Structure 1
């Protein structure tokens, strides 16, 4: 059974990545013409690199190069991760890639990155707004989030959670 939850994100900072469009294209496997000129580090609680992708096909075909993404992120003293998104009307398709143990993994649903997307919209003066965010389709674990940025510059991320396990930890004294 799915349980609805909503996250309210507070203050966020936004800074330009030092990576060039060429470096971003090489790191993501997406041609330069299909990505924004700049990527941005957003932090509404968890710092992440965000890059807009201009077509759904380019987003679908993203192929992350670990070494190149690592170099892009380390140049800005950031963790090796990137949130790619494509927007069409009020729907956002997103993919979140991150490094773990020397390889790139893809997250099925990233509420913190969705909040950072809201912070990106705020930094551009694009609010109030509502978006439906689709993530996890490429991994076979579709995730649906809602994003809302209100007139007071509050960011809300919502979704439904399905419990897949439960347990208890007992620590030795």
Structure 2
């Protein structure tokens, strides 16, 4: 038995083959148990890999599991967009075989965080985020700045909040792009002061760079290791949700992320007049292949 997979860059930039956030999508993983999915995600060692466990391709619906190299996630942005692209491609191939030639412009993915509608946009895909909840961080701005390794005035007053539109993350607004670029978080401080007990911290720092542009970085601590994500759709959804919760609606924002890890990325955030949040970006397919499933181990 073999497993088919595709490699994609999500939130990529046109004409840059090494931009965006890499993703592996396993096309037909219904036979895999969670331990085997985790093992394959660890084998590919990308920020996330997704597994399509069931699909109704004519209807554009699929069940999806998302794994990092270490654990399963209930929701993540770039895996959602990349997997929607693959589901639509599989549906198109099936339609060609059956003579329909139909191209899907809308896909719905079911994952532990719920059903996520995704639609095609020029050059890529856009998801609609689920409604979010928010709560303030009960830590002084100067203490937050100390953990991030920036000056005591770099954190905007009342600029740190937990937001959860599928994955709870700590969003921290900084005074400018220089402060975002200067962040050198201290891992122990992230665990002790900027995390929920029992959960690994995910901290998203951001700053306005113009009327409709933002620069951002996301840091995730796992034990003593610190990782930086090149493009974080779940955090963009949380940021858009924070704007909606604070009555900043009718916004279109372009988020730049990934420069510090040599994977420049662009995410497009839309908050409509009703406060619904959409996150979109370019999706580029860069390769495909198969892996063997013989034997008792992957």
- TM-score scaled by structure 2? 0.54
Cα distance in 2 between the residues matched to 1:90 and 1:144: 13
Aligned with 2:175 (options 54, 58, 70)? 54
Contact 1:48 1:79 in 2 (8 A): no
Distance 1:33 1:26 in 2: 10
* 1:99-140 deviation digits (Å, cap 9, x = unpaired): 134211110000000000001101211111010000001111
For residues 175 and 163 of structure 2, the distance between their equivalents in structure 1, rounded to whole angstroms, comes to 19
Q: Deviations over 1:40-62 (max 9, x none)?
A: 11000111000001111111111
Shift of 1:12: 0.2
Distance 1:100 1:135 in 2: 21
Distance 2:218 2:186 in 1: 14
Aligned partner of 1:107 in structure 2 is 229
Aligned to 1:69: 190
RMSD, aligned α-carbons? 2.0
Q: Distance in 2 between the 1:171 and 1:94 partners?
A: 43
Alpha-carbon contact 2:254-2:267 (below 8 Å) kept: yes
Residue pair 2:188, 2:224 contacting (<8 A) in 1 also: no
Structure 1, unmatched stretches of 5+, are none
1:164 Cα offset (Å):
3.7
Looking at structure 2, the residues matched to 55 and 83 of structure 1 have their Cα atoms a distance apart, in angstroms, of: 14
Task: Report the alpha carbon displacement of residue 74 of structure 1 after superposing the two structures with TM.
Answer: 3.4
Runs of 4+ in 1 over 4 A off after TM superposition: 75-78
Query: Which residue matches 2:271?
Result: 149
Matched, 1:42 2:163: yes
Gaps of 5+ in 2: 1-7, 13-122
Q: Are residues 1:137 and 2:259 paired?
A: yes
Q: Is the 1:109–1:135 contact (alpha carbons within 8 Å) kept by the matching residues of 2?
A: yes
Task: Output aligned runs, 1:85-104, within 5 Å.
Answer: 85-87=206-208, 88-104=210-226
* TM-score w.r.t. length of structure 1: 0.91
Tell me the distance in 1 between the aligned counterparts of 2:295 and 2:132. Answer: 39
Q: Counterpart of 2:146?
A: 26
Seen in structure 2, the aligned counterparts of structure 1 residues 8 and 171 have a Cα distance that, compared at 3 Å, is farther
* Structure 1 contact 18–76 (Cα < 8 Å) conserved: no
Matched, 1:13 2:133: yes
| Alignment CA distance shift 1:86-1:100 (3 Å) | same
Q: How many residues in Structure 1 have an aligned counterpart in Structure 2? A: 173
Per-residue Cα deviation, 1:14-39 (whole angstroms, up to 9, x for no partner): 11112221221111111121112241
| Partner SS state of residue 31, structure 1 | coil
Aligned twin of 2:249: 127
